[in-house]
Structure 1
């Protein structure tokens, strides 16, 4: 979900709680507003603390107790999923390494995947995002291609389980 090509999460509509990396990992120039996803992946979300970011911003205590999976240790990912994370990390690093002198496209430390794609790909005259091929940055094109290939590899691994576990019928 974090790296899916049709992911529509954007920091323009509120706090982006879905940044899976830390500021130091990506070389951010400013602090993120939320560390929820990074902490979640690291198994550092506290269930019972009334002061944690996750409880205040995303869940009520009742939700946490009854319906939410909260990892108590770092999540382990398959090799295919780790490739997706690695590709995503390189993309976030590249975004945060840019010079942001254009006031129409200012630096956004809380950028989501959609925000990053918009930064590099821009929009056409109908206000639709340009395809990755129209991006001016060739390194970005390589990174987004690597991410896409990693996602396809992960999808091939997951697809049989969708039927095995009954999420879809064949």
Structure 2
């Protein structure tokens, strides 16, 4: 799921591994640059195109709306160098992992309140939980 706590999506340049330099492109941003006030283009708009025209339940829409607010707050925040370096915030297409961790590290809960997002996410989880077994995602 796009907003799961285990979602480790990221976008970063200048990663060094196995004697090579790597860049990570995040293909899983559910918003356009305009929706979140990004100052630069995202390299991939895969998820926005994939989701275009889909009908979402009110619970799913609430998660998207609250997630959009957090993503917008992320793009509006001037993070100190220590946070920028720790979470590799050198691309506009940062992933959900980077967004939530950087905002948490920044620590200004007056600007970034995760409670509405957590409540929306919990409501969506409660709605879909029975379907996980019904639709065969997990055995009964």
**Fold equivalence (TM over 0.5):** yes
Structure 2: which 5+ runs fail to align?
A: 13-22
Kept in 1, the 8 Å contact 2:60–2:124? The answer is yes
Q: Deviations over 1:112-131 (max 9, x none)?
A: 11111221233xxxxxxxxx
- 1:51-62 to structure 2, matched below 5 A, reads none
Q: Deviations over 1:105-156 (max 9, x none)?
A: 155311111111221233xxxxxxxxxxxx52114551x2221111110011
TM-score, length of structure 2 as denominator length: 0.80
Q: 1:136 is matched with which residue: 104, 107, 114?
A: 107
Asked if residue 114 in structure 1 is aligned to residue 97 in structure 2, the reply is: yes
- 1:28 aligned residue: 38
Kept in 1, the 8 Å contact 2:73–2:112? The answer is no
Runs of 4+ in 1 over 4 A off after TM superposition: none
- 1:100-111 to structure 2, matched below 5 A, reads 100=79, 102=81, 105=84, 106=89, 108-111=91-94
Q: Which of the pair has more CA radius of gyration?
A: 1
Cα distance change on mapping 1:75 and 1:119 into 2, 3 Å:
same
Q: Distance in 2 between matches of 1:19 and 1:166?
A: 27
TM-score, length of structure 1 as denominator length: 0.67
Structure 1: which 5+ runs fail to align?
A: 43-73, 123-134
Asked if residue 167 in structure 1 is aligned to residue 133 in structure 2, the reply is: no
How big is the alpha-carbon RMSD for the aligned residues of Structure 1 and Structure 2?
Answer: 2.0
